[in-house]
Amino acid sequence: MIIMMQPGATPSEIDNVVAAAQAKGWQTHLSADSGQTIIGLQGQGQPLDSFALGQMPGVQDVTAITQKFKLASRAFQPENTTFQIGDVTVGSGRLSIIAGPCSVESREQLLETARAVKAAGATFLRGGAYKPRSSPYSFQGMGEAGLKLLAEAREATGLPIVTEVMSPSKVALVAVYADVLQIGARNMQNFDLLNAVGRAHKPVLLKRGLSATIEDLLMAAEYILAHGNKRVMLCERGIRTFDTKFARNTFDINAIPLLKELTHLPVIADPSHAIGVRRHVASVTLAAVAAGADGLIIEVHPQPDQAASDGDQSLTPPQFAGLMTQVRAMAEAVGRTV
Amino acid sequence: MIIMMQPGATPSEIDNVVAAAQAKGWQTHLSADSGQTIIGLQGQGQPLDSFALGQMPGVQDVTAITQKFKLASRAFQPENTTFQIGDVTVGSGRLSIIAGPCSVESREQLLETARAVKAAGATFLRGGAYKPRSSPYSFQGMGEAGLKLLAEAREATGLPIVTEVMSPSKVALVAVYADVLQIGARNMQNFDLLNAVGRAHKPVLLKRGLSATIEDLLMAAEYILAHGNKRVMLCERGIRTFDTKFARNTFDINAIPLLKELTHLPVIADPSHAIGVRRHVASVTLAAVAAGADGLIIEVHPQPDQAASDGDQSLTPPQFAGLMTQVRAMAEAVGRTV
Amino acid sequence: MIIMMQPGATPSEIDNVVAAAQAKGWQTHLSADSGQTIIGLQGQGQPLDSFALGQMPGVQDVTAITQKFKLASRAFQPENTTFQIGDVTVGSGRLSIIAGPCSVESREQLLETARAVKAAGATFLRGGAYKPRSSPYSFQGMGEAGLKLLAEAREATGLPIVTEVMSPSKVALVAVYADVLQIGARNMQNFDLLNAVGRAHKPVLLKRGLSATIEDLLMAAEYILAHGNKRVMLCERGIRTFDTKFARNTFDINAIPLLKELTHLPVIADPSHAIGVRRHVASVTLAAVAAGADGLIIEVHPQPDQAASDGDQSLTPPQFAGLMTQVRAMAEAVGRTV
Amino acid sequence: MIIMMQPGATPSEIDNVVAAAQAKGWQTHLSADSGQTIIGLQGQGQPLDSFALGQMPGVQDVTAITQKFKLASRAFQPENTTFQIGDVTVGSGRLSIIAGPCSVESREQLLETARAVKAAGATFLRGGAYKPRSSPYSFQGMGEAGLKLLAEAREATGLPIVTEVMSPSKVALVAVYADVLQIGARNMQNFDLLNAVGRAHKPVLLKRGLSATIEDLLMAAEYILAHGNKRVMLCERGIRTFDTKFARNTFDINAIPLLKELTHLPVIADPSHAIGVRRHVASVTLAAVAAGADGLIIEVHPQPDQAASDGDQSLTPPQFAGLMTQVRAMAEAVGRTV
């Protein structure tokens, strides 16, 4: 970190800044530039809040010289993270395709969907047993009964299961049934939950919060990594902006190349939530693959109009099969496979 | 809810919409307007997703005729919610003044601050024992040791304690020590946590999420109310917008009159987080009182430059005392007391 | 438009609403639904402000039954707008590729770039002679001298010219030299300028404002169409959101399929401004084509590091040629040509 | 400006950066900090794009050491700008109160409003003769006939006139009738218009754009100042955010203390546009005065429900008179007068 003092900073203002840094265990290094004192920090001190430093008397500017995220950074690990789930290698040249209903509603609904998405080429089954809903009066999910149906669907199809966990106390239970633990957008900064999945022995799919910056997302991943779980997938699912008239969210396509540069972790796109309108899911899906996503998570329901949640953005199985044909062509155009 | 069909909607499209509504337990009522069929819903059906309905073939527009929040609404309870904590009546003409450090750091720091804010006129002591931090490498709070210091500070000053709880499994523990359970902005849609504090026997201070709409905030309160806890305070603490160069957040002053109209729950303003810069906290505080806030929550630290968190926005005790003098004059100008 | 009165609306409140609508030339049609009066409007009245109507005493909800944009809508014209510029048909299955420097800086710079982009497959040359800059101290463009260089480059390469006009009084002058008049993002709601280009006899490239909704963009196009100019291209160039740390703007990829559904006008993507970082322009370009864009506008400069503006997001000619190879493969994957 | 090179930057990368700076007329000054080279710039070079510099190979960070706005900054002029219009001193301890209809609609409407706001204590009359409307089908203003009515209202009441100018070519005409030239939010970055009012001999009221940052606003003011017009008032009128369900805009109350610190120019608040709902205008008005605004601009209409524009946010004359009573009490509470 570099702290630039104002031209007229007094010796005692400079001393205060030096003392503040040394109090956190940093070595300080002073230099002068055109009459302005510059304080450089070195060593292994405790984290400093650059905003706070910038508010100290006499300070003009504070420049951080390292990313806040360490374990998630390309500096820490230049090569891509890849890991095996079932017979799929996440983060490899082959796209991971996660598909299934928003909510698990019944054995029939789930098994029908699982078989259909498997036949169309999906490599994971998604389905929510615990549902975060903005209204307490909306369907909250089937709970453990839903988890059991997911396990049954895995038996029937061989597809590994991706499902959401909402509470630290449920991590152990969900991990019994699931192959991948999903953290929802609204829980992206539920730090106790991040710590809990960080200690779990299952891969994690971490969804970006509605107004989380890219740095926020990487810092949330850092919580999981710092607790020992290295198998983290990041998921861009659309952010909240000023325009919500025709689409539910704004898909941040820029985030895909930016994340691929900043971090070694695989990046999954969620076109269903990103636009929220069934007839436009295909366009966003193809764009995500074109931009370099490592995988997709797509909502599919046998009768979307009857779905307990998110039916308006769910594809029917035939629509999903049609989309997979397009995805294969797109993957080939950008040197990937499905 | 009113569903307007398109001019050329076919009888079967109309039937499908009627069937979808009836399947959720609603009675339907058809009328025609200029050749367009209008379907009105009545009764006590299950919640319908108007976005999904709007996607059904033949549907032109869907208009909800009731607020999504019920128990939180003025329609449900026209008069203001008030409740007693210690000798303060929250939601009355007298402002609730919550002050103290961001984090509990030591007995000396906490007791010194508690005595100072009490002397200056605060009616509650705030202090974090569990800290949600965007980085896993930042100070995470003292935990239960911090709660014990808070209880000791209450003994010493008589001030009721406001402190954050981050996890459902910690609610029982925190409730042993705290007088008010705070839900942080990043946990505003941590629904398991909302349910847990909804079942607790302590009042709740619910902070608005960084990009939560006013409706989202009221729906989060609805979770708490629906689980039986009627003592909920809402807190506006600034939202995330496109401009973060000179302030941490954008204080949504409009939210104060809007919330006072939409809900009977008390509304607290957090000027410290709202602007994030110590020397501007006073301006935002006065504006919040002028706009009709029922209370304030303000960060105070004896040595802000040494604070483990949020020092840049914390007032010193003398600054807080000076601000309280201004707040008294402002309260008088708008017919309130301190 | 449909106006739903509250259940307890008084006869005089209903009369007031009816009178307000009739005063604007609308015929009113009353019906009752579950005890609630509904007022439907018909005919050819003047525009009504639904927000204002919604504030009238006794009104519960106002539902617009038509899009605000008329001439720009698919309802008005179901088939795609296409038009010929030089030997290119904009809006056809063949992508329009607009490339060139942000600013015209010199004959050498412009001609070198023009020849290079032509060789790589561009079908239009872009270049700014009048530059809108956020600082009055930044380079403001060469003015008419720049326009003359653009005309010379067209002579040399045959590429039609796209260039920005910033003021109504300059439209006639710019139209002498340009083949397409560009309206910049900051002028998207400069209504006098929209009117002026609406009366010009040259096609228009209308860029979306930094925080313009999709509806705002279509209403801006409506100004141009309503003044008689039917040859309008819309341009998505990234919007302003809460995250600007790693990219200049947030490219709204959703806007591409949404606009293609809502309007018959061609949709051009501007990946250079959309992300603002040279090494990521390619990813965004491919995503835009995958999502269905009808064309691209890309900044190219022979020495980006010397550019008077936007050098950081400009490609070198070899980078642009490489990108065009990728664009051709992508276009083929989605059934288009270059 | 300070440019920090990466630890492993090569001599030729350093040379390139030095050359880029020197090419713009800057003197460079090199120093080394912990093995990292730091390049400081001095002198009177041309503006540099720090984003572009940051993209050059080997560069780690670029830190600007001065504000982009010069003439508008407190560094340039520490004391408040004040100026006389009629018998009012804008920017003094006495609040400037600008009131009147959104649009001039008729002699009766305007004169009735002018007399009423004068009687209630307003010190300026506002009224639009040229109206920027998002739809070409909405009322566009009376034009010069409206300007003449405004001049007549000034004759009748003595109130100076504030009215909008939308086009550079209309500045001379509007300046004949108006005392203050208003630049609307949608034209805040219409640079040719800013230049034109910069050359006019009338004070300017510059409204912040819907998504303009505080720095953008100050840079727009800089255009006017740099063209010789020193009499500029800044106006905060609400920004565009993710929540538009219950209010039209989000009033950025933080902007008031921030602007008062950053610039010497007077800051006016526009509560009418800031919230857009008549019954909440008073709360926002009082908050703005409490936060330190130098004046107010408020929409008043004798029959808001009949207004050609913005009726929903216009106060009636009695409502305005009532609000002025509250404003006087509020001004006194914060040491100002009306």
Q: Which two tokens stand for residue B192?
A: 């398991």
Q: Which residue has the higher pLDDT, D310 or C241?
A: C241
Does A32 score more than 80 pLDDT?
A: no
Phi and psi angles of residue A43, each rounded to the nearest 5 degrees, phi first: 100, -155
- CB contact, 8 Å: B31 with chain C? yes
* pLDDT greater at residue B193 or residue A67: B193
Q: How far is CA A193 from CA A68, A171, A204, B187, in A?
A: 21, 8, 11, 11
Residue in C closest to A259 by C-alpha: C246
In angstroms, rounded to a whole number, what is the distance separating the alpha carbons of residues D7 and A42? 13
| Cβ contact D312–C52 (<8 Å) | yes
- The answer to whether C274 faces chain A, any CB pair under 8 Å, is yes
Q: Is A65's pLDDT higher than 60?
A: no
**Which of A169-178, B195-204, C17-26 has the lowest average pLDDT?**
C17-26
What pLDDT is stored for residue D34 in this prediction? 59
What radius of gyration do chain D's Cα atoms show?
Answer: 23
Shortest CA distance to D99 belongs to which of D300, D258, D247, D235?
D300
**CA A180, A185, A187, A193: dihedral to nearest 10 degrees?**
20
Amino acid identity, residue A96?
S
The rounded distance, in Å, linking the Cα atoms of B238 and B154 is 29
What is the nearest CA distance from B189 to chain A, expressed in angstroms?
6
Residue D28's DSSP bridge partners are: D41
**Closest C-alpha among C298, C248, C257 to residue C277:** C248
Start-end of H helices in chain A = 11-23, 50-55, 107-120, 144-157, 171-177, 191-198, 214-226, 255-262, 271-275, 281-291, 317-333
Question: Shortest CA distance to B182 belongs to which of B124, B233, B122, B111?
Answer: B233
Contact D33 A31 (CB under 8 A): yes
**Mean pLDDT throughout C307-328?**
94
Question: What pLDDT is attached to residue B33?
Answer: 57
Distance from CA of C333 to the nearest CA of D (A): 32
Which residues 276-315 of chain C have a CB within 8 Å of chain D? 276-278, 305-307, 309-312
Ranges A19-23, B79-83, D288-292: which has the least confidence? A19-23
Which residues 204-233 of chain A have a CB within 8 Å of chain C? 211, 213-215
Is the model's pLDDT at C43 over the cut of 80?
no
Chain B stretch 153-172, residues whose beta carbon is closer than 8 A to a beta carbon of chain A: 166-170
CA distance B61 to B50: 9
Question: CA D299 to CA D103: how far, in whole Å?
Answer: 9
pLDDT tens-digit map of B293-335: 999 999 999 999 898 888 899 999 999 999 999 999 999 999 9
Chains sharing 3 or more CB pairs under 8 A with chain B = A, C, D
Residue A42 has pLDDT above 80, yes or no: no
pLDDT of residue C77: 85
pLDDT at A76: 83
DSSP string over C60-88: EEEE--S-S-STTBTTT--SPP-EEETTE
Residue D65 is predicted with a pLDDT of 53
Q: Would you place residue C1 in the very low, low, confident or very high pLDDT band (cuts 50, 70, 90)?
A: confident
Distance CA C297, CA C313 (A): 12
What's the gap in Å between the CA of B166 and the closest CA on chain C?
25
Structure confidence at residue B42 (pLDDT): 65
Chain C residues touching B211 at Cβ < 8 A: 242
Region D137-149: mean pLDDT is 93
Q: What is the reported pLDDT for B70?
A: 80
Average pLDDT of chain C to the nearest whole number: 92
Per-residue pLDDT at C281: 97
Reported confidence tier of residue D51, pLDDT bands at 50, 70, 90: confident
Burial class (CB in 10 A: 0-12, 13-18, 19+), D207: buried
In Å, how far are B185, C113, D178 from B237, measured between CA atoms?
8, 51, 41
Contact state of B55 with A190 under an 8 Å Cβ cutoff: no
3-state class of A96 per DSSP?
strand
B224-240 pLDDT, tens digit per residue, is: 999 999 999 999 999 99
* Contact state of D286 with B213 under an 8 Å Cβ cutoff: no
With a pLDDT cut of 70, the percent of chain B lying above it is 97
For residues C228-242, average pLDDT: 97
CB contact (8 A) between residue A247 and residue C258: yes
Select from C243, C259, C327 the residue whose CB has the most chain A CBs within 10 Å, as the one to mutate to test that interface: C243
Helix/strand/coil (H/E/C) assignment for every residue in chain D: CEEEECCCCCHHHHHHHHHHHHHCCCEEEEEEECCEEEEEEECCCCCCCHHHHHHCCCEEEEECCCCCCCCCECCCCCCCCCEEECCEEECCCECEEEEECCECCCHHHHHHHHHHHHHHCCCEEECECCCCCCCCCCCCCCCHHHHHHHHHHHHHHCCCEEEECCCHHHHHHHHHHCCEEEECHHHCCCHHHHHHHHCCCCCEEEECCCCCCHHHHHHHHHHHHHCCCCCEEEEECCECCCCCCCCCCECECCHHHHHHHHECCCEEECHHHHHCCHHHHHHHHHHHHHHCCCEEEEEECCCHHHCCCCHHHCECHHHHHHHHHHHHHHHHHCCCEC
Model confidence at D44, pLDDT cuts 50, 70, 90, reads: low
Q: Are C236 and C206 spatial neighbours (Cβ–Cβ below 8 Å)?
A: no
D240/C278 Cβ within 8 A: no
B136/A311 touch (CB, cutoff 8 Å), yes or no: no
CB pair distance less than 8 Å for A133 and B210? no
A259 CB contacts (<8 Å, ≥6 apart)? A214, A217, A218, A234, A236, A265, A267
Among D4, D28, D33, most A C-beta atoms within 10 A, so best to mutate, is: D33
D135–C contact, CB cutoff 8 A: yes
Identify from C44, C48, C49 which residue to disrupt to test chain D contact, counting D C-beta atoms within 10 A and taking the largest count: C49
CB D94 within 8 A of CB D88: yes
Mutation for testing the D interface, residue in A2, A59, A68 having most D CBs under 10 Å: A2
> How many beta-carbon pairs below 8 A join chains A and B?
118
**ipTM over 0.95 threshold:** no
Q: Is the pLDDT of residue C338 over 70?
A: yes
Q: Can you tell me the distance from the alpha carbon of D3 to that of D6, in angstroms, rounded to the nearest whole number?
A: 10
Greatest mean pLDDT among A24-28, B264-268, D3-7, D9-13: B264-268
Asked whether the beta carbons of residue B169 and residue A166 sit closer than 8 angstroms, the reply is no
A110-119: average pLDDT: 98
Q: Which residues 78-117 of B are in CB contact (within 8 Å) with A?
A: none
DSSP state of C209: P
